[in-house]
Amino acid sequence: MTVKDGTVSVAVPAATDTNTSGEVWLCPVTGKVDVAVRRGENSGHTLSYYNVVRRWVKLGDWHGQAQTFTLPVSQLSDASFALKDIDRVTVVVQSGVAAKPGVMLGAATASLH
């Protein structure tokens, strides 16, 4: 996976075993998020969450052949967080489908900045 010229590119190689299909998912990640707790036993405290996955973006389906998936960096954010809040992106290739995921076939991470 590379981040260059405003684009995230993910190169998935050809299959080398019996796992020949899966879904390719990209996750924008924030390294640290501080949250003020307003209720419960931690009320009044601030808790820090680390490596927060902000959303899951399906890049596509992989069918065993070498394939490249791309996404503009500008499409990583959504209404709940800004692009400046994202520190890195992580990609996973997983057999099965989102409703019934299977074996993790591969993963990678890259810094956004």
Number of domains in the chain: 1
**Each residue's pLDDT tens digit, 9-21:** 999 999 988 888 9
Q: What is the separation of C-alpha 97 from the centre of its chain, rounded to a whole number of angstroms?
A: 16
* Full domain range(s) for residue 23: 2-111
Where does the pLDDT of residue 93 fall: very low under 50, low under 70, confident under 90, or very high at 90 and above? very high
**Each residue's pLDDT tens digit, 58-91:** 999 999 999 999 999 999 999 889 999 999 999 9
- CATH number of the domain enclosing 66: 2.60.40
